Structure 1
Amino acid sequence: MGMVYSFFLCLSSLFSSNEQEPKGPEPRYYEIQIHQAEPGRLKYLQNRYRQFAIPLYRKHNIQVEGFWSPVDPKDERIVSVLSYYSQASWLRSTKDFLRDPKWKKGIEDSESVGRLEARSDKSFMRLTDFSAAKFPRNGTKGRVFELRTYYATPGKLPNLLDRFRNHTRKLFEKYGMTNLWYWTVVDAYPAQETLIYMLSHPSQEAGLKAFTDFRNDPEWIKVRKDSEDKAGGSLTVKVESLYLKPLDFSPIK
């Protein structure tokens, strides 16, 4: 994992360690991490985060928003969302976390059975202006989360955001979906025109039905057509969906 972060840690020298954190309750810089476990070792990787990472995140001022694994038991990944007050805060906190002797020992101890992680991917994000400010952190028992990623047609991310801002979220609520975070990807090279967001549903079955009903809604059909006519074509080139269940140590459930 140290190699994954090495480039970013080198950047930490560009920021002063005396930087003052912005005032206000909400961090403004988000990181989504997707960890692929080695085959058959997902439970060990989960335990590494449960036992070692969570306490150290608090120590190093890293806010944990949530930890999930896919609903599909064959999908051996962990999805986590962390947040910080700024990019500089991320650099400083990540550097301190990775250098912490307890984390290094945690990796060593957890890998007594062998290497746990095959790869790790991440994106850095900022909240949109229409992201939910408050939402239920503890919902109905058994609820699932849906991580959706929209790759915008080049030059049309503003149109896509406008459609979500003025129409899509309201229609989601109409069909029983709970709007959570909405982010755009930042600090990516090359730049990415990407919208990432998260919903919750009573169950995967309920989520799938809600989206079927949503897509057949006459209002949505009109909104989609009008927005694409105005933009001169489809607003997205690809959409991905991943159903998730919260892990026992996730702050949001």
Structure 2
Amino acid sequence: MIHELRVFHCVPGRLPALLKRFENDTLRLFEKHGIKQVGFWTVAIGESNNDLFLILQWESLAEREQKFGAFGNDPEWLEVRKKSEEHGPVEASITNTILVPTTFSMLR
């Protein structure tokens, strides 16, 4: 089991648009493509309150490549993303980290 930490660094003032996109469309499309989310977090105290943290769960890198690739090329997702950016970009950048649990991790 591997986990992917994705951090969406939003353009100032655009975090609400990103949250709306996930809640109204992206999660449904994740389900369509079999993408499993562990959870989402925003920042209450920290460096930036314009960030959204997301952890995804994968059986393998091959599963990630297949499912995330299909999601990224889904015409419905491309339209959702385009519509959410009608008033300008939502993300300034996205960082992505593949995590491997330690032998003593409760989450494996």
Q: Name the TM tier (shorter chain).
A: over 0.9
- What is the aligned residue count? 108
Cα deviation code 1:158-203 (max 9, x no counterpart): 00000011111121122221111100012125x4300001010110
Cα deviation code 1:74-117 (max 9, x no counterpart): xxxxxxxxxxxxxxxxxxxxxxxxxxxxxxxxxxxxxxxxxxxx
Partner of 2:28: 170
Partner of 1:233: 88
RMSD of the TM alignment (CA)? 1.2
Q: Secondary structure at the match of 2:43?
A: strand
Once the two structures are TM-superposed, the CA of residue 209 in structure 1 deviates from its matched residue by 2.2
Give the partner amino acid of 1:220. W
Partner of 2:15: 157
Partner Cα separation in structure 2 for residue 164 and residue 155 of structure 1: 16
Partner of 1:223: 80
Q: Secondary structure at the match of 2:29?
A: helix
Once the two structures are TM-superposed, the CA of residue 204 in structure 1 deviates from its matched residue by 1.2
- 1:193 aligned residue (18, 35, 50): 50
Partner of 1:205: 62
Partner Cα separation in structure 2 for residue 174 and residue 234 of structure 1: 25
Note if contact 1:173-1:179 (Cα within 8 Å) is conserved in structure 2. Answer: no
Partner Cα separation in structure 1 for residue 84 and residue 60 of structure 2: 30
TM-score (norm 1): 0.41
Q: Which has the higher contact order (CA 8 A, sep 6+)?
A: 2
Partner Cα separation in structure 2 for residue 155 and residue 208 of structure 1: 31
Structure 2 residue 107 is the aligned partner of structure 1 residue 249: no
Q: How does 1:74-153 map onto structure 2 within 5 Å?
A: 143-153=1-11
Give the partner amino acid of 1:221. L
Partner Cα separation in structure 2 for residue 145 and residue 244 of structure 1: 5
Partner Cα separation in structure 2 for residue 156 and residue 251 of structure 1: 34
Structure 1 unaligned runs (5+)? 1-142
Give the partner amino acid of 2:54. Y
Note if contact 1:182-1:197 (Cα within 8 Å) is conserved in structure 2. Answer: yes
Percent identical:
38
Partner Cα separation in structure 1 for residue 65 and residue 12 of structure 2: 28
Give the partner amino acid of 2:42. T
Cα deviation code 1:51-82 (max 9, x no counterpart): xxxxxxxxxxxxxxxxxxxxxxxxxxxxxxxx
Structure 2 unaligned runs (5+)? none
Once the two structures are TM-superposed, the CA of residue 246 in structure 1 deviates from its matched residue by 1.4
Partner Cα separation in structure 2 for residue 241 and residue 210 of structure 1: 16
